[in-house]
Structures are given as structure tokens and as C-alpha cells.
Amino acid sequence: RIVDPQKHETILDPACGTAGFLISAYKHILASNSDERPGDKLSGDERARLMDNFCGYDISPDMVRLSRANLYLHGFANPRIHEYDTLTSEDRWDERYDVIMANPPFMTPKGGIRPHNRFSIKSNRSELLFADYMVEHLRPGGKAGFIVPEGILYVEHEAYRKFRRNIVENDYLYAVVSLPHGVFKPYASVKTHILLLDRRLAAQTATVLFVEIESDGYTQTDTRLPTERNDLPAAEKVMAAYKTTLSENALEARAEPSSPEAYLVSKQTILNNRECALIGRWYHLESKYPKKPAVVFKRLGDICEFKPGLSPNMKTLPGEYPLVVPAEDRKTADHYDYEGPAVCVPLVSSSGHGKADVKRLHYQEGKFALATTMICLKPKQGSGLMARYLYQVLSERSGIVIVPLMAGATNVTLKQELFKDVLIPVPTEEMQKEIVDHATLEMFADSANRLRAQIAQGIDGEKAQDIVDLLDQVTALLHGHAEKKRRISDIWPEIE
């Protein structure tokens, strides 16, 4: 519905599989030209021409047969489905279409693709070649919607960079939609995005719309069970409004309770980025900072030393030194890499393939070894930054300053260069100590509360009640002292 193919437009799926996209486009056109029955507003000639407007390619003879059968069952007398290698054959290279929609294969065979030399980019990666093919085969004023793995949007390689720059600079791209990591489960757990192109619309705006869909109405597990939250209807409203207004007014179309994050980024901002990255959340980070901060915000790369993990998690021999790993419990090592105090940050998502997440950071003092899947941050001399405070602020704001900087279609990792550009508030040393004290007191209060619950459930009698009452007093006392201390939210309020 967002691409919105029309009855007079030619439509191509260059990797059509079973022709699902083509049939969906056909049904959409019928619904758009209906009164009492699907397509009843189309004349006989219009319906005949409509059937000729659909075309699909697939390299597999089996898929070609399935596509033809599927279209035939939907009323296509002579389905135009061709057995064709889109990436290596030139026979249909000169064909152009008004609309292109596809979910092309992401897998590249061993040794890579060997494309012909008419592609504008030089690559042997199937996902990039398919994306470039669709861009190159749009007619003037054409439009497209296709799914890509996240890597296409940020990989630091000349071919990828050239593709991204082309679709922004030459007015193809108008929106990027981030999909949940489990949208293709149980078949694949891959982080994907939809690229939406429209040469007419893109030429009229200086911005690109980014929409972050977290839930598609189903769980992100292999079972894919229905859930209450579904961002898709609200996302569709935002995109439809943007196509109409081409302004920030479109963001007001978000509806409660399902409101996907959506924001506009200027094309010039994207083009000014060295990699021309199309990960919208990277550009949106600055909106999470207060416009008039109560304290100075400083760049992490200026106030911290970034040290890489040097000790393999599984191969390091045990010994007398702690080995800091992403898991909650540390291991041991027969050597040390660094000497604290330091804040240890995982480089790899804790939630597995396709999903960005950080469960914990570690604060470490003394001599320690560091797993290769982590980095550590040590405050620089004279920075005025306490390591304990750094741990606290990064832990409490990890969802703002760490998780959004993780990317990857399958292996989701933290982009360290972006992390160095993160800003954090650096108040006076006295205020930093207060914030650390507040967090420590709250941690002790939570521990006392958990102990109280265990005793209340596990021991009967008056003595147990006496202990429970005492722990209630301790918890209240700790909370009371914590309330007198300043906290992170006092200097860095959470911004929706």
C-alpha cells in the first residue's frame, strides 16, 4: 500500500520466487479500483492491459513454474514470468519499469557472483547487486520498495558507499523502514530494512524519513505468536502522511499506543557523513540530549582511553587475575591486560542474531584480563571523570548511547568509532560522587528487599517476622538516604 502501484504502471519483481509480491500488487490495484467487487471499476480493456503489466524473473525453473501457476490461479491467462539470471544475464538489461518490488536473496554463493560489466557498481555480493539492479531499472518518475539486510546501509566498502550516495544524492530514496529482527523467523533471524524509492517524491524533498518498527504484531521467536503491540498501522500512517506533506507534520500521524519512532534526516547530513550511512538512529542520537544542559556534555573519545579486549574468552588459561567477559560472572586468567579502574563494555549484542541489546556493563578495579568481545574505557588523566560515575551513566543510558550504535544483519556489533563520538554529562566531582552514592544506596535497598522476600517465603514464625520488619526498616532507611542524593536524571533527563 505504501508503494501504491497503479493500474497503468508496469511492475517488476526481479527475484519473484512464488510471485507473492506481484499477486499482492495485483490485489492492491483491484482494491483501489473497486465499488462492490474487486476491480469492478476497471473496464475490460483496462483489465487486459493490467494483466500484461506484471513481470517476474527467477533463476530457478521450479520457482518459475510455481509463479506461473500462482498467477494463473489468480486470473492471469499468460503470466509473464521468465527464467532469468538477473545478475549475470544481459538479455533483459534494457527493460525498464514504473514499479519494482522485491525481497531478493541475501546469500552470496561461495566465490561470489560474477556479474556482467553493465552494473554501475563493482561488487560480487548478491544483496548489493540486486539493490543496484532495481535502482538502475526504474523509469524516470518510477518507484520501488525492496528489502535489504542491514549491512547494505552502513558497510564501509566503496561499492556500498557508492550505492548509498547515489540513491540519496540523485533523488531516489525518500524513506527507510527498520524491521524487527525476527520478521523472517523461523527461516532466518536477520536484521532487515525496507528501502522506499520514488523519483518524483524524492526530488521534492531535502529529507529522508526513517521509521523504526519494533513489533509487527507477532513475537520475535520461531513460533511467531500474535502480540498486542503492532507498529505497522501507525508506521503506515506516518509514511502516507509524509508522502502527502513531505514535512515534519507527517510525524504527527503517529498514533497511540503503537507509535514507532520516526524522524527526518536531511539529505545533506547523510551526504556529509563519510560513509553516507543510512542507519537513521545514528543521526537521531543528538535528539536524546537536553537542549539546555545543566552541566557540560563531553565526547567520550576526548575524556576516555579506549582499550581493546586481548584475551580470548574460551582459550585463556585460568589463573589469579579476573577475566572480564560479557556474562554476569567473571572468569579467571593467568595474566592481566590492563589495570583499573575501568568500565568494560561488550562489543557484541547479548540477544543473539539480528537484535541489538546490552544486558550489562562491568566496573573493574585492579589488574584484570579483558575478553576479545569487549572494550574497556579508562578516564584520561585530567579529564575530571570518575570511572564509577562513567559506569553508572553508561549503564543507565545504554539504551540511548550504546544499543542504537550496534548494527549488523546477523552478528550485531557496536561501532566503536561512533561510540567515541557519544556525549555524556561531566558534572563536578562532588556531584559525580553523589550520583554514584545514590545508585549504590538503591542497589543495597534492592538487595535488602530481595532478601526480605526470600525470608518471608522460606521461614515461618515470629523470628522470621522480626527479620522481615527489620529489613523493611533498613530498606526504607536506604531509600531515604538515596532520595537526598542527586541522580543521573537530574542532569540528563530521559527525552522521548
Per-residue pLDDT of the chain (496 residues), as tens digits, is 888 999 999 999 999 999 999 999 999 999 988 888 887 888 888 888 888 999 999 999 999 999 999 999 998 989 999 999 998 999 999 999 999 999 998 777 777 888 888 898 898 898 999 999 999 999 999 999 999 988 899 988 999 999 999 999 999 999 999 988 877 776 677 788 999 999 999 999 999 999 988 877 777 777 788 888 888 888 888 888 888 887 666 666 554 444 678 888 999 999 998 889 999 888 888 777 777 777 889 999 999 999 999 999 999 999 999 999 999 999 999 999 999 899 999 999 877 666 777 889 999 999 999 999 999 999 999 999 999 999 999 998 998 889 888 887 677 889 898 899 999 999 999 999 898 888 877 777 777 777 777 777 766 666 677 777 776 777 777 676 657 667 777 778 765 5
Q: Which amino acid, 370?
A: L
Distance CA 366, CA 355 (A): 33
Give SS3 for 69.
helix
Phi, psi for 228 (deg, rounded to 5): -70, -35
> With the C-alpha atoms ordered 349, 350, 352, 356, is the resulting torsion angle positive or negative?
negative
Out of 3.90.950.20, 3.40.50.150, 2.60.260.20, 3.40.640.10, the CATH code matching 85-288 is 3.40.50.150
End-to-end CA distance of the chain: 29
* pLDDT (0 to 100) of residue 112: 80
215-246: b or e for each residue (b if 16 or more CB lie within 10 Å)?
bbebebeeebeeeeebbeebbbbbbebbbeeb
Distance CA 470, CA 472 (A): 5
- Beta strand 173-178 pairing with 81-83: unpaired
Distance CA 466, CA 99 (A): 74
Domain extent listing, the chain: 85-288, 297-426, 430-491
* pLDDT (0 to 100) of residue 302: 95
Helices (H) and strands (E) in the chain, counts: 16, 23
* pLDDT (0 to 100) of residue 258: 47
* pLDDT (0 to 100) of residue 354: 63
Distance CA 400, CA 281 (A): 10
Cβ atoms of 368 and 323 within 8 Å: the answer is yes
Report the CATH number of the 297-426 domain: 3.90.220.20
* pLDDT (0 to 100) of residue 257: 46
364-393: b or e for each residue (b if 16 or more CB lie within 10 Å)?
beeebbbbbebbbbbbeeeeebbbbbbbbb
CA atoms within 13 A on the CB side of 192: 19
* pLDDT (0 to 100) of residue 254: 55
* pLDDT (0 to 100) of residue 218: 77
The order of strands in the sheet holding 81-83 is: 81-83, 54-58, 11-13, 97-102, 138-149, 192-198, 173-178, 207-212, 261-266
Q: What is the DSSP code (8-state) at residue 321?
A: E
pTM beyond 0.95: the answer is: no
54-77: b or e for each residue (b if 16 or more CB lie within 10 Å)?
bbbbbeeeebbebbbebbeeeebe
